[in-house]
A = this chain, B = another copy of it.
């Protein structure tokens, strides 16, 4: 044992592409101080690669709409958003309307849910 300063970092793999997974497993399989996690084992870090991102790009949102969307996700009201952005409530409602239209949502709660689902914003 002696001085075990590197108690082996355990890595888990979450990779969709089998080829890439094999490749990485082969590369990382024989490195000192590093080990791949067994089934169900707690890992210190996880290597993820979810590429079949059936995401037709992020929807075309303007910068201002993204600002409003981010504050909406924080639970801010139109009045709060207006104050934070230095614009009038009417303008906020205008942008919210565009957001609801583009995100195909029925309300602000639905809007942030949809946006989070398709990765436009991060919760």
Give A residues with C-beta under 8 Å from B. 6, 9, 11, 15, 20, 23-24, 27, 31, 33-34, 44-49, 72-75, 77, 105-113, 116-117, 123
- Copies assembled: 2
A45 near B48 with CB under 8 A, answer yes
9 tightest Cβ-Cβ pairs between the two chains A and B: A75-B110, A45-B49, A109-B109, A117-B123, A47-B47, A116-B123, A75-B106, A45-B47, A108-B109
Q: Which of B23, B44, B109 contacts A75 (CB 8 A)?
A: B109
Contacts of A117 in B (CB 8 A): 123
A113 near B47 with CB under 8 A, answer no
Shortest Cβ distance from residue A9 to the other chain B in the assembled complex, whole angstroms: 6
